[in-house]
Structure 1
């Protein structure tokens, strides 16, 4: 069983579903809340399963031919990283950790000195890079910012001779509709099991 360092990404998974209990118990000593991807994991009394988030794993196999009109910047400075952390945790609290941005490139759109929309890269495999933190500030939705950021980030991944993919909750109809319009297709459904360490 393998996990990311919890300062980067609170996710893990196992090749053999029958050997998850000890790995989960060990990881629970490092962080109190995390996710295991795949089938329902075995746990002991040190850990409880809080719930299951079913996601569509979506992938796209060709560049997206859409013009970008917004000024998209790479979020590299400490100020940028601070703004990124605050925005993602405002909209999607719990997924984005202090060092998550170190896993890949992140991009954003500023308006009036406020970061209002972002996306970036998280989990990477041979030939594939995950798009993650596709987030728009609640006061700025509906303006096409997410679409342009996805186009920008996806095409950067294609420039690296890799394939972009992403995960989206299977009940997030609006987001799925946007991804499908851009050319993403659902590869499969994947469960993200939220676990919590019991305090004894």
Structure 2
């Protein structure tokens, strides 16, 4: 059985192997999410990615390969690298105490469109209409409007990723994201899993995550490919 450390080195692969197996699409021993849910793929052998990427590209115009260090091989006659997002992985050490002053709501399917619109307003590119199905989402409302959200994305029996942490530009600097991350983290701990998250290198939010008790552990890069 793979250890937590094994899983964290290739989180997309193991998520699709375990908790998110129902979302898995496999080509040439490369695992992808159903593109309606999440446009991510993962691999262990770069020699398999060229053929697999061509097959997956028949189902979506753009997608990401997620890897710690390996560079996927691609058929450059059909696909091109639109960008490489240099990211990093963070893992909870010990959660800091955070005073919860806001009402935090567990969001159900009724709010899926509001979540989608808020995430795409603040952080376009990763979230899909059905990403909501990957885990729990929590939100904060102001005057009946969803203004801040944090959800759960990749997960296995051992870890769950905090993701889609966004706040409407009109409501930033009020500590909303901080409270949502802390709440989400506590919910993951209740399930005896390790909370993790991913972000871009140099993201100012890293300082917040560190104050909450998360520690930088490794690189985790997103390679965005698109059809020619």
Bucket of the pairwise TM-score, normalised by the shorter protein: over 0.9
1:5 counterpart = 2:5 = no
> Which secondary structure does the structure 1 equivalent of 2:220 belong to?
strand
Deviation readout 1:41-97 (Å, 9 max, x if unpaired): 11111111111101110000334422211001011042x111101000111112110
**What do you get for the CA RMSD once the two structures are aligned?**
1.0
TM-score by length of 2: 0.84
1:31 counterpart = 2:31 = no
> Which secondary structure does the structure 1 equivalent of 2:86 belong to?
strand
Runs of 4+ in structure 1 off by over 2 angstroms are 61-65
Show the counterpart of 2:45: 16
| Equivalent of 2:135 in 104, 114, 118 | 104
- The question of whether the paired residues in 2 share the 8 Å contact of 1:54 and 1:192 is answered with yes
1:90 counterpart = 2:121 = yes
- The question of whether the paired residues in 2 share the 8 Å contact of 1:64 and 1:155 is answered with no
1:193 counterpart = 2:223 = yes
1:141 counterpart = 2:172 = yes
What is the alpha-carbon distance in structure 2 between the residues aligned to residue 46 and residue 26 of structure 1?
11
Displacement after TM superposition at 1:20 (Å):
0.7
- The question of whether the paired residues in 1 share the 8 Å contact of 2:95 and 2:214 is answered with no
TM-score by length of 1: 0.95
Show the counterpart of 1:49: 81
- The question of whether the paired residues in 1 share the 8 Å contact of 2:96 and 2:211 is answered with no
What is the alpha-carbon distance in structure 2 between the residues aligned to residue 119 and residue 197 of structure 1?
31
Higher relative contact order (CA 8 A, sep 6+): 1
What is the alpha-carbon distance in structure 2 between the residues aligned to residue 175 and residue 77 of structure 1?
28
Gaps spanning 5+ residues in structure 2: where? 1-29
Gaps spanning 5+ residues in structure 1: where? none
